[in-house]
Structures are given as C-alpha cells and as structure tokens.
Structure 1
Amino acid sequence: MFRRALVVAAFIGLTVNSQVHAESSTSKPEVKLGFAKCAQCLSMALVPQFTQDAKIDTINFTSGNDVLTALVSHSVDIAQVTYLHFVTALDRGLDVVAVSGQVNGGSEILVRNGIDLQQNDWAGLKKLVDAAKAHGAPLRIAASRGNAQDLHMRGELQMHGIDPNRDVQFINIPNPADHVSALQRGEIDIVCSVEPFASQIRLSHAGKLFNYPYDQAAGKLSNLIVTRPDVIKDHPEAVKATVAAVVKMVDSLNTSHAGWLASINQYTALDQTVAVESLKNAYPDYHMYRTQTIAIAKMMKDLHYISTDVTPAIDKNMDYTFLTDATGKPKAALGF
C-alpha cells in the first residue's frame, strides 16, 4: 500500500514546484529542503545557518514517506529520508541519489504496561506471541509503515524466530506522535517508535522499554540525504552547498545539542526533559554506508518490502562526490 501510494503521489505531483533557481554571478542558489518530524530528523532545521553559499528553505513533513513523495514530485529539491525509503524508491525505479548521511539511531521497542515482559527477553516475547496466536488473538504490534523503525522492528522479530507477516498483527499508525495514545488506550501491545515519541512514552509511563532494535542488518542506520539526478546535473552548486552545510551541522551536533533541542521543542511541543532524553538515542553521522545499504536491501527483500535486487542501483545511486568535497576525505573513509 505504501509503495502504491508513493508512486501515485509521485506522478500526480504536489502543488509546490521545485525552487532551485539557476545560479548566476549575483545570486545564491535557492534550495527547498524537506525533512521529517522525528528527533534525529529535526536537526535538519538547523542546516541553513551553516552555509552562506545557498538560500535554503527547510520544510517539515509528518513522515519520511511524505518527504520522499515531495522529492520525486519535484516539490522539494533535497530531502532527508531513511535508508528504507532510499531502497524502496530504487525498487520502484524512482530517480533518487543519496549524497550524505545525517543522524542515525532513534528506534525503540516499547510494550504496554500490562505485559509482563522484561527488557530484551526475546524468549519470553516468543512465548507470548505463540500463545496469543494459538488463541486466535495475535499480539498487536504497531509501527509507522515505511519508516526506519518499522524495518528495525521487523528485522529484529525475524532474527528471534517471530514471523512479522504471520505470527503477529501489525497495525500501521502513520503519525508516530499517535503511538503514545494508542498504547494508553490499549489498542496495541507493542510499538517500535521513533524519538522523541519513544522517550515521551517512557517518561509518561504509557509504556516501558523492551529493546533498542539495532542487531538486525540495518544496525543503527536510519537517515540519508537524497536528491534527484536533475538537481545534481542542473544545480551542482546548490547540492554542494547543502551537503557542506549538513557536514558542518553534524560536526556541530557532536559538540552541542542546544540548537537541536530547540528544534525538537519547536516542531513537537514536547518538553525539554523529553527532548534531552531522546538525544541519548541519536548518533550524528554524515557517512553513507554502502555495504550496509546492500545488507538492508537484502533484509527488505526477505521481509517482502521490495520485490527486486536493487544492489546495482545502490552502487550507481550513492554519489560520494559532494561528501568528499565537503570533508576532504576519500569515499573509502566515508562509508563506501
């Protein structure tokens, strides 16, 4: 359903046109930069302050699905999405090119308070899953379909002998901000949420921590910066300036969280305590991990997220040129 909706939206298009303008000797390139509403994603709001070489207009979307749709329909020029979105786009034959990493992590599996389950007790969870399935009432597991947390969750379940397609009932909650209320109302038993909403769930005692799902093929990898081939071809200076700004932003995040915390508060209205807690599970990183991306694609195919082998497309559509220019490092030192 996600892939069908994405392709339809991509070809219908949104109402805003791409805003990269032709560079001239007297004007800066203008870039529309899209990002999603999650703790690690919201640092993208800081990118414009790290460059004088482009006028970057940041636009916040509810989810990575929305950001990718905006990119392929030419409503934004550069986008923060996830490795999952990147691989899914390649599987659908969409023209997207990864140009930088950004921030990883942000995933957390939580269970409702009524479930007697200790942290990381996968054997105990397997017993609960089997018992619930035998009684014809499979455990209800929620995630936001198409985001990194959904993939992390399904990969972890599969690793521990739980078939995510047959043993449990997956419930799609598109907006991660709604995870906490679904737990509170008892509509779901388990959720793999994204920060800062995962921290909100724990700190509000709506649910309790079960696991940080980083043992599957994707590890902690979550976010990528992507664009389209036409933007690279027609406006390379805009892409260059944006990637350089992302690199500077990542370096800044590794020394201070002040601006990052302000962005979380601005876009989510969550209090400072939740914001601070959420950043304990976020890892700024501008590297792009090619080998791990291939492993992610294999896992996605095994989980029936995609239907084709996109390995050749991954090699072709990860462009290290701008990251190399911004860091002065060879691509071999940047995750290639």
Structure 2
Amino acid sequence: MKKKALLLMVSLLAFVGVLAGCGGAEKSASKEKVVIGYFPNINHVPAMVAKEKGYFQQQLGDGTTIEYKTFADGSAFMTALKTGDIDAGIVGPGPAMNNYSTGADVRIIAGASTGGTVVLAAKDSGIKKPEDFAGKVYITPAVGCTHDVQYETYLNEIGVTSERIGGTMKHLTGKPAQYSAMLQSGKVDVVVAPEPWAAQIELETGAEVVIPWNEVSWGETLPAAVLVASGKMIDESPEVIESIVSAHKEAVDFIIENPEESKEITIKDIKAETGQELSREVVDLAWERIGFTYEIDENAVQEFADSSYVLKFLKEQPNFTDLIDKQFISSETARR
C-alpha cells in the first residue's frame, strides 16, 4: 500500500511538473517590457494616441511594462530596432525598405498614415516652380528617407537631380524643427518638410508651397509612416505583435473618430518630446494634409522602392515579397 501511495505521489508530482512546464512556456511567450519607437511629428500620431490612451498597456496586460522612445530620423530608429533597443514602432517606409534591402531583419506589419510631405521655398527666394530648384540647396531629414525619395522622384521626372547622382542640387540633412530658422537665414533654399513642420514654416515665415503634399510623388497613396517590428520578434512572440497591432488599430480608429482630441494629444506630446509647442492653427493646417490608416498600399510601396533603386538609394533592384507582413492587420482574432 505504501508503495502504491508513493508511486501515486510521484505521478502527481510529475503531472504538476508538466503543468508548470506548460505555464512556463506561456509566460515565456510574453515580454516583461515592450519598447515602442516613433517620431514627434504628425505622421506618427497613432503612437502618441496609443501612448496617451494606454492602448498598448491594455492589450499587453499589466504584467508588461511599456516604454517609449522618440527619434529624429529613420537611421537612428532602424539602428535601435536592429539592436533590440526597441521592439516595434512607427517609421517612414524609406528607412524600412533601405535597411531590409541590406539584410536587416525588419517587417512592415501595418500602415500608420499617408501624405504629409510638403516642399517649400523661402518667401523672397524667387523659386516659384520645381524647375527653379536646379542649383539650389535643399534639406530633408535624412538621405534616402521617405520625404527625400518622394521629392527626388518628382524632380527626376522633370530632369532636375541632386549632386549625388550628377545633378546640380546640393543636399543637406537635419531635424525638421530647425528648418524654419535655416530657411530664414539663407542656409537652405528649399525644405522638404514632414508635417507639422511644413505648416509651421508656411504660417510663421510666409514660405511658399512649391510642391503640395498631394502633388509630390505618391503624396496620397504612399504610406508616410508604417508600423514595423523585427522578423525575429514576429516569429518568437506573435501574440505580443498581435497585441501591438491591435493597440495600433485602436489608436487609428480613435484618430478618425475623434480628430479634435487627437490634435490636443499631438500638441501635448510634441511639446513634451521636442520642447516646441505647436499652435492649433499649425496643427489644423497639417491635419488637412494627412490621412490615417493601418492598411498598406503594397503597389505604392513597390513603386517607391523601384524609384529608390533608380535614384541609387538602393544598390540592387528591390524585391519586397517578404517585407510586408499583413497577417496581423487581417487577423480576425486581433483584439480591437
């Protein structure tokens, strides 16, 4: 009898051990900390709204700590994604494509916004049309960034190119928050600005819009910002990615349904991250040039990538078959 009791106890302990192992496997599938990256501009409002409303926390649960990091350009963002300093976040499609093409483990898992790229010239510069850009100095956030490719694609079609590929335009890079001062000081002739900086420059300096947001290449169709994660993160923690996408979708829906409150959240977040407080007039104008969506126009992405190759931002003809992963935005099980 004692022997049977001992065997029964051993069996029960083994069974408990199996259950514990299962529980441990479930726990390891979650993350104790998730870091979300984004830029402090209006194309990245979904991250600001999700942050303010606590959507990531709600989706990932109280056992997960949520942190946020902001970036001034796509290069710094992609470095952080590759090193694991961030787990997911919003970035322009340009940096995502460029890094993917050079072997980076990055996947686009949702759209975030469209539009928001505006090309302006100083009020008294004499620049009235795109053909006037030849020989001028222009500035974008980074070489090969989304706004840069949109701008250079548009100009390439009319025969105006940068010094980088044998043309006459001189290219500088810098933070969009500095563009207004650089334009007024004469350090640059043309700014290729994401919103809300374009609206701020236009209203505060009287700069003239030479190429409107909906006329620059793919102005209305190209994802201006996308939600990305690493392939490793998707493979190892798909439920975490699903939760991140679900929170992102909630944020996009909120923006569409509550534009006025979303504008207030934007003003507050940009001030906290950059020290600059945008006027409501600036935000209202910028908002007219932006669309928010978690869907992705794959054709526009491929056309943009092909142009990046033609303009020599990419060394090889791109193949983005595996870059865009739509399983999470199309999943019926995604929590909304």
Q: Same fold (TM over 0.5)?
A: yes
CA distance in 2 between partners of 1:39 and 1:327 (Å): 29
Runs of 4 or more off by more than 6 Å in structure 1? Answer: 25-28
Equivalence for 1:140 = 137
Provide the TM-score with structure 1 as the length reference. Answer: 0.80
- Cα offsets for 1:146-200 (capped at 9, x unmatched): 4321111111111222123333333323211111110010111111111111111
Q: Which moved more, 1:267-276 or 1:236-245?
A: 267-276
Please say if residues 109 and 211 of structure 1, whose CA atoms lie closer than 8 Å, have aligned partners that are also in contact.
yes
1:103 aligned to 113, 124, 144, which one?
Answer: 113
1:272 shift after superposition: 2.2
- In 2 relative to 1, CA 102–160 (structure 1 residues): closer, same or farther, beyond 3 Å? same
Q: 1:254 to 1:186 in 2, by over 3 A?
A: same
Contact 1:244 1:326 in 2 (8 A): no
| Amino acid corresponding to residue 144 of structure 1 in structure 2 | P
Q: 1:255 aligns with which of 242, 254, 257?
A: 257
Write the distance in 2 (CA, Å) between the matches of 1:264 and 1:112. Answer: 25
Once the two structures are superposed, what CA deviation does each residue of 1:189-224 show, in whole Å capped at 9, x if it has no partner? 111111111111011025221112544654332111
Aligned position for 1:266: 269
> Would you say how many aligned residue pairs link Structure 1 and Structure 2?
293
The answer for the alignment partner of 1:182 in structure 2 is 182
Alpha-carbon distance in 2 for matches of 1:38, 1:107: 11
For structure 1, the 5+ residue unaligned runs are 1-21, 131-137, 329-336
- Please point out which of 32, 35, 39 is paired with 1:36: 39
Give the equivalent residue in structure 2 for 1:50: 55
DSSP-derived class of the 1:40 partner:
helix
Residue 230 to residue 85, structure 1, CA distance change in 2 (3 Å): same
Q: Are 2:73 and 1:67 equivalent residues in the alignment? A: no
Segments of structure 2 that go 5 or more residues without pairing to the other structure are 1-24, 272-276
Counterpart residue number, 2:19: none
Cα distance, 1:129–1:254 mapped onto 2, change above 3 Å: closer
Q: Deviations over 1:37-69 (max 9, x none)?
A: 211114312224235221432221222222111
CA–CA distance in 2 between the matches of 1:227 and 1:295? 22
Answer with 256-265 or 282-291: which moved more. Answer: 256-265
Q: Which residue of 2 aligns with 1:134?
A: none
Structure ranking higher in helix proportion = 2
Q: 1:167 to 1:239 in 2, by over 3 A?
A: same
Match of 1:230 in 2: 232
With the length of structure 2 as denominator, give the TM-score of the two structures.
0.80
- Structure 2 residue aligned with 1:8: none
- Taking structure 1 as reference, are residues 116 and 70 closer, same or farther at Cα in structure 2, changes over 3 Å only? same
Q: Counterparts of 1:234 and 1:86 in 2: how far apart (Å)?
A: 20
Pick from 297, 305, 309: which aligns with 1:289?
297
3-state SS of paired residue (1:317) = coil
What amino acid sits opposite 1:71 in the alignment? L
- Aligned CA RMSD, in angstroms, stands at 2.4
Q: Whole-Å Cα distance in 1 between the matches of residues 59 and 269 of structure 2? A: 26
